[in-house]
Amino acid sequence: MVSSEEADIALGPLLVTVLRAEVVDFTYPLRIQYLKLLAGLGNPEVDPWGFLMPLRPVVWAAILTTLGIVLTAMILLSSFILPKSAFPNIPESHVLIIVRVILQQDIGEAGRWWWYRLVLGAWMIMTLVLTRSYAGNLMSLLAVRHIPQPYQSLRDVLADPSASLIWMTNSTPFFFYRSAASSIAKEISEAEAAGRILLQKSSDFQTSINTLVKQGRHAFVETESLMKIVTGEAFSKTGSCDFYTSSEGFYPNLHSMGGQKYSPLVPSLSRRIMVMAEFGLIDLYLKQSSPNSSMCARPPTKVTVSLPLAFTNLWGMFVVLTGGYAVSLFIFSTELLTAHLIPVFQNVMDMIPK
């Protein structure tokens, strides 16, 4: 209607596109937004590998490095300071001693030299602080439940064959992604062919969000402002945050009013819109027009519970323990087999004529 001069201004806000800009003039943007994903929060889950979390990989690497430094210091000191005849078995016992300390096993080193006891004492103090810190953090982490938020990007949803995307019918971003020459566009086309893309009208969004999205197998694709309105209405009804918004944004959107080509109303409105935007009036209006829109902006990813420890909390530890026993049994069996086969092999070699 604006392009055919039946109307002077289209209030919108309208998404600015190249095709539309060819027939109308757009005002200063009312807002600039990104598309994001809205998905349902999962139930709190136990991380069975949580016993690895008290120490980051960098700390584990630092422990191994320090262990190597202590071993090197002992070997060097025993080689250059001690007489060759004194304690000839020291280098062979270094590894076992420092490993026994970090495993909190007993050692007897009363007859060692003072420098040896000094290095060993420093290693014992470091491992004592480390193990006590680890134990305290571990007990805290065992009381933590993690709330999964698996879909943080379009690719996360497309990589899950059981997940589907909900788009607005005839939306410009959907047609853009479906026709773009990129890998993500190809994946979206394949997902649409597999029936994993649902196109719905805006009037059906609330019903779909409270059913399909809340179940956790669908993700809703829309602008941040619309998501705030939808989640605000859901929070007003239920009083709980059942959804989360993806951390990754994509497809930036410019929303503006549209006027006739070369109309003097467009620059006049642009100046006023810019003032309103700079003073934050547009954001204030959007916030006041949708109550509770910010209540679920950042839902918690972890919750703390007070429950007895169960096998579901600790089965990762038992896996490590069982794996260690299996490896040690394999090595022990290999040693027995080797000890048995070496004499047989020697006898066979002796029987071969030279």
User: CA–CA distance from 172 to each of 23, 153, 252 (Å)?
Assistant: 17, 19, 12
Q: Model confidence over 204-243: pLDDT tens digits?
A: 877 888 888 888 788 888 888 788 878 888 787 887 888 8
- Least Cα distance to 213 among 252, 240, 254, 245 occurs for 245
pLDDT at position 8, please?
A: 93
65, exposed or middle or buried, with CB in 10 Å at 0-12, 13-18, 19+? exposed
Q: Which residues pair with residue 221 across a beta bridge?
A: 37
**Segments in the chain below pLDDT 50:** 85-91
pLDDT at position 86, please?
A: 47
pLDDT at position 88, please?
A: 45
pLDDT at position 256, please?
A: 92
* pTM score of the predicted model: 0.59
Neighbours of 123 (CB within 10 A): 21
pLDDT at position 85, please?
A: 41
Q: Residue ranges per domain, the chain?
A: 9-45+147-304, 50-144, 311-354
The superfamily in CATH containing domain 9-45+147-304 is Periplasmic binding protein-like II (3.40.190.10)
